[in-house]
Amino acid sequence: MQNILILNQPIIRQGSFKLNLKIFWLLNILLIFSFLIFYIVQVNIIFLKTNLIQKYEKKLDEITKENKDLKISLVQTDYSKDIEDQINELGFEKISNIQYINFITENTFANK
């Protein structure tokens, strides 16, 4: 009979069950708050990375435009050097003053 009474004793005591339930809910609330803080930190990191990406894209556009302008400038410089070389080879001289010669003929008056 004693063996039967020992086997039939309650496994969970009422006082410890309430304590375990309080610990369970406390751990759940702490877990929820920790996940919430982790979520806020992750969203903040995402916004910072997005802002950084936009900043780098803007800088890339500026550098690309500057590169295009430099390429155009280089082509124009090379073209002008080629023209100067051709002018020197052909023996042209720089003109400082232009004077025009006016021809007056009878046909000029007749056409007007």
Q: What is the pLDDT of residue 90?
A: 79
10-residue averages of pLDDT along the chain (112 residues): 52 63 92 98 97 97 95 83 79 80 67 53
Count CB-CB contacts under 10 A for residue 85.
10
57 belongs to a structural domain: yes
The Cα 35–Cα 1 span in angstroms is 53
The domain in which residue 79 lies consists of 13-89
Which tokens sit at 34? 């920790």
26 belongs to a structural domain: yes
Q: What is the pLDDT of residue 87?
A: 79
Q: What is the pLDDT of residue 37?
A: 98
Q: Is 77 helix (H, G, I), strand (E, B) or coil?
A: helix
pTM of the model: 0.48
100 belongs to a structural domain: no
32 belongs to a structural domain: yes
The Cα 57–Cα 52 span in angstroms is 9
96 belongs to a structural domain: no
Q: What is the pLDDT of residue 77?
A: 81
107 belongs to a structural domain: no
- Domain tally, the chain: 1
17 belongs to a structural domain: yes
